[in-house]
Amino acid sequence: MKNAEEFLNAIDAVRIQRIHDISEIKRLYCNSSQSDPRGIMSKSAIVLSYAHWEGFYNECAKTYLKFLDRLNKPLSTIDWSLLLGLLNSSFDSLRDKNHSIEAKHEFVENLKNTIKHGAKHYDTNVLLARSNLNFEKIKINFLIMSFKLDKLHKYRLKIDNEVVGWRHGIAHGNDPDLSLLDLEKHLDLIRDLLLVVADIFQDEIVNRAD
């Protein structure tokens, strides 16, 4: 556990700060007496809540990679699936060279060194989200990290249709149907999702700690 405490605390600190912000959004938007005929307050709250959802996930992923780096071990000995983030640029090179025999040979030769690398060399773009943290993106990222999806399965439709779907509709100038929106419940959903994501990353850190 000595390798884990710092990173567990880092995730907790970020989660608490974001939940404070979500509570403040709830106070400002849900208790407002101002009329909002165009739904601007609801729309802005949805965009802000999505930012907390994606931002917190990205911070957890970065913290997890920092933890793996602290272990000072080749990622291939921690989890073979993690090699994808070490090989991403090599895959791009293979494609750019039309998967020629020479390029494939170079890939195999480089693999001997790549499997010795730790998280310091990781391409974080493989695990981070860019305005697209829907359930499919989480599923792919968890596959790479060998995380279980069980705790998030019951939120699948809400993540895709409400957290991500509503945000995309607003961002692209389409008015999503918010007639059934209960903004307070939506913000509570984001709060719950942050807690679940924190638990998943923290459990994996504990499981891999020395």
pTM (two decimals): 0.90
User: Where exactly are the structural domains of the chain?
Assistant: 5-73+130-208, 76-117
Other C-beta atoms lying within 10 Å of the C-beta of residue 165: 17
Lowest mean pLDDT among 44-53, 90-99, 100-109, 162-171: 90-99
Spatial contact of 25 and 194, defined as CB atoms under 8 Å apart: no
Lowest mean pLDDT among 34-38, 54-58, 195-199: 34-38
Whether residue 33 is predicted with pLDDT greater than 60 in this model: the reply is no
